[in-house]
Amino acid sequence: MPLNIFKLAVLVSGRGSNLQAIIDSIDREELDAHLSIVISNTKDAMALKRAEKYGIKTFFIDPSTYLNSKEYDKALVLKLKEFSIDLICLAGYMRILGEEVIQTFEKKIINIHPSLLPAFPGLNAQKQAIEHGVKFSGCTVHFVDSGVDSGPIILQTVVPVYHNDDEKSLSKRILEQEHYLYPKAIKMVKENQIKINDRTVTHKTR
Ligand code: GRF
């Protein structure tokens, strides 16, 4: 492995389709990065099996073996430091990251969320969008700060909401776009194509 390769960690809890999109993008040599580790807080996450298939190092950090969230986060930070990770990608990671993680890896953690933030943060974003009756939703990649889905926005894709959509059909349409958007955003961060100014991310033209 070249010394200056960009090292990624992906944090997961479940299905892992965004993880797969990142793996595929690296495989196709569109994204020049090394997926060093995949960490899960759930033992049976399908994402772990996906990673293992590609020989990627996986770790299940079991929340039940830590006294509290602070101790859990300490273990997480240690693991991420051990692998000298350059960028941490949350991909369906269902635990709130504590201050220690956020501060240790300031501006080095990104997340993908299935809505056009700041609309519909938190859980069940697609259901929230349907119930609110919006005509457009989408997905957002953003830096992670200490709030819920509140950090500076890197990229978004708009997805139409049709009158006969339900949570499932809208989720599917959004997910298809997530799989393009996430690797694209990672590439932009990796290639230093963005500048963060307070909460605004600007894209450098080349
Ligand atoms: C995606 O919809 C993502 O936007 C959200 O959680 C879901 C994870 O799906 N944060 P997957 O595990 O990547 O398939």
Residue ID of nearest Cα to ligand 1 atom 10: 92
- CB distance 98 to ligand 1 below 6 Å: no
Index of the ligand 1 atom closest to the CA of residue 174: 2
Index of the ligand 1 atom closest to the CA of residue 114: 4
Quote the pLDDT of residue 206.
Answer: 58
- For the entire predicted model, the pTM comes to 0.97
Quote the pLDDT of residue 101.
Answer: 98
Active site residue 113: yes
In three state form, how does the secondary structure of the chain look? Answer: CCCCCCEEEEEECCCCHHHHHHHHHHHCCCCCCEEEEEEECCCCCHHHHHHHHCCCEEEECCHHHCCCHHHHHHHHHHHHHHCCCCEEEECCCCCCCCHHHHHHCCCCEEEEECCCCCCCCCCCHHHHHHHHCCCEEEEEEEECCCCCCCCCEEEEEEEECCCCCCHHHHHHHHHHHHHHHHHHHHHHHHCCCEEEECCEEEECCC
- In the chain (206 residues long), the average pLDDT of successive 10-residue segments reads 90 98 98 98 98 98 97 98 98 96 97 98 98 98 96 98 98 98 98 94 84
